[in-house]
Amino acid sequence: MSAYWYKNGKLISTTGLHISEIIGNPEAFGLTKKYIEDTYKKYDERMGIEGKAREEIMIEAMKNGWIRIRINRTRSGNNWVIQFADFNKQKKDLKGLIEYFLLDKKEMKKYDIVHFLSYDGKTDEEYDDYYGKGIMTFLEALKKVEKVIVEEVRQYKYFDY
């Protein structure tokens, strides 16, 4: 499985779990170490485990403009899950990410399944070529949306916080 965080044209590969990146760099995600500790205490969970605290913390990161990308590799192709706060406000970035992974990096294939999901459930769309609605349909629908240049970075120092 591959995973990334994205914001403002910058893409960073996670070194482990998405939540580990937030815990290790809370300011980059618009959070504080105290908020993270308090959230884990609220749910009586150990720091870093994947439970209710993790969910709440990652939602806060998404509310702060971050987009979460998870790629599950299978024998029949890849399943991409892209989570975010608001499709209408972030569609330019979402289009940029797809163009980057599909056209530039060629890590995404046009027959891969791509699932767009907002944390609040208002957007829940799947693009699956098998059912006649591949990811190229998404790009075609957003062809008039301005192009975003996506750059992979290795450190959070590239993010404003």
pLDDT in tens, 27-81: 999 999 999 999 999 999 999 888 999 999 999 999 999 999 999 988 878 999 9
125 membership: H or E segment, kind and range = strand 124-127
Q: Which pLDDT belongs to residue 57? A: 97
pLDDT at 148 exceeding the cut of 70: yes
Across 6-16, average pLDDT: 91
Residues 58 and 71 in one domain: no
Residue 160 inside a domain? The answer is: no
Residues 28 and 77 in one domain: no
Q: Which pLDDT belongs to residue 160? A: 62
Residues 84 and 144 in one domain: yes
Q: Token digits for 61?
A: 């990161």
CB 74 within 8 A of CB 125: no
Determine the Cα–Cα distance for residues 138 and 127; give it in Å rounded to an integer. 8
Residues 8 and 53 in one domain: yes
Share of the chain above pLDDT 70, in %: 97
Residues 81 and 126 in one domain: yes
Lowest mean pLDDT of 29-38, 62-71, 110-119, 142-151, name the range: 142-151
pLDDT at 161 exceeding the cut of 60: no
Residue 124 inside a domain? The answer is: yes
81 membership: H or E segment, kind and range = strand 77-84
Residue 161 inside a domain? The answer is: no
Q: Token digits for 47?
A: 């720091």
Residues 15 and 53 in one domain: yes
- The beta-strand segments (E) located in 8-122 are 10-13, 67-74, 77-84, 113-118
Residues 40 and 76 in one domain: no
Residue 156 inside a domain? The answer is: no
Which residue(s) pair with 69 in the sheet? 4, 82
The structure tokens 């987009």 sit at 67
Determine the Cα–Cα distance for residues 23 and 128; give it in Å rounded to an integer. 34
Which residue(s) pair with 138 in the sheet? none
Residue 112 inside a domain? The answer is: yes
| pTM: predicted TM-score of the whole model, two decimal places | 0.93
Q: Which pLDDT belongs to residue 7? A: 95
Q: How many domains does the chain have?
A: 2
Q: Which domain holds residue 19?
A: 2-63
